[in-house]
Amino acid sequence: MKKIILLFSLITLVGCSQFSSRKDQSQNIVFQNSVPQGKYNFTIISLNYPKSYSDKISFYKTLDSNLSNLNDVQANGINLLISNEMNKDFSSLLNTGWFDKEILGMKVVEDLTNDDVNYLNTITVSTPENAGNLQKLLNRQYYLLLQLTDNEYMYNSEFLYTELDKSLLMESVLLNRKSLIDNLNKIKKNFVYSMHNDIANAPLYSSSENINLKNFPNNPVIFEKSVNNSGFKVLSDNLIIFVGNGKNIYSTENYDFTANIVTPNSLDELKNISKDSTGVSRILKWKRKEWRKNSTNENLEKKFSAWEEN
């Protein structure tokens, strides 16, 4: 009879621990930079990124202005969702200072690819009659750069433009762009990439709950949109943070993570959005605690064993 009571008690305790998702001790984690215990919310900002070059220029001017008005604490709370197109342009800006068709205009003419040449030849503009093929391409590059800066009127169809002319034309643009590049560098540690981007060692966002996590072993944090779950789960390779307010809540006694995604109507809202948001870079370096058998069960078993002997 005592053995039956013991067995029943152990099963009851084990069963309760298995179905207690809110305080799941098997999820306990530690962070390399000693994140204090408590509640954290990760707000992911999804921006409407324009498609045309001219609209992108306006977008970057406004983004630069708003990021410049953030202090360091506010900037650290900006988690920016990076789409494929944004990743392409941001990477180009941060690595070279240029983006979009600007790169084609700034290439040394001898380095132009066949696709570059074909594009330049579609530009309808007069070139000097005595110019060779390379010179005509160089003139078209210069005209392209004038177009991109709304200065087409400065083009002289009789002039033989040089590589130096191109560099001088864009020098002022590059100087003005330094602020934007500096601001992007400040927040890039909190970039959250869309699942379409193949970016290792960076946080990802998925709008689907049916992703194959085996394909993302090098992404330590994955934000997953969910209608059923909220909180977070710790797997062998990934820390899954649910985006939403689902009824199934996952947390630990030490940490409570929530996440949401917002699309601001204006970039002016960045300051308010960042107030109650935590930068995802704070939790990128983590490891799962080694699970150990619950000492309560061990003590209980010993207790009943001793009781049986009496």
User: 28-54 pLDDT, tens per residue?
Assistant: 788 888 899 999 999 999 999 999 988
User: Is the Cα dihedral 140, 145, 148, 151 positive or negative?
Assistant: negative
Residue 42 placed within a domain? yes
Q: Helices 295-309 and 2-18 meet at what angle, rounded to 10?
A: 170
Rounded to the nearest 5 percent, the helix, strand and coil shares of the chain are: 45, 15, 35
Quote the mean pLDDT of the chain: 85
Question: Do residue 117 and residue 6 come from a single domain?
Answer: no
Same domain, 33 and 153: yes
C-alpha–C-alpha distance, residues 68 and 145, integer Å = 27
Please check whether residues 299 and 255 belong to one and the same domain.
no
Give a yes or no: residue 24 inside a domain. Answer: no
pLDDT in tens, 94-112: 998 999 888 899 899 999 9
Q: What is the pLDDT along the chain (310 residues), one digit of tens a residue?
A: 555 544 455 444 444 433 335 556 556 788 888 899 999 999 999 999 999 988 999 999 999 999 999 999 999 999 999 999 999 999 999 998 999 888 899 899 999 999 999 999 999 899 998 899 999 999 999 999 998 888 899 999 999 999 999 999 888 888 888 999 999 999 999 999 998 888 989 999 999 887 888 889 999 999 999 999 999 999 989 999 999 888 888 888 889 999 999 999 999 999 999 988 999 999 999 988 765 555 555 555 554 444 444 4
Shared-domain flag, residues 66 and 141: yes
Q: What's the gap between Cα 301 and its chain centre?
A: 49
Selection from 187, 232, 238, 196 nearest residue 216 by Cα: 238
| 301 and 164 part of one domain | no
What is the residue whose two structure tokens read 């707000």?
Answer: 43
- Domain of residue 14: give its range: 2-18+293-309
Percent of the chain residues past pLDDT 70, beyond the cut: 85
Total domains present in the chain: 2
Instruction: Give the global pTM.
Output: 0.79
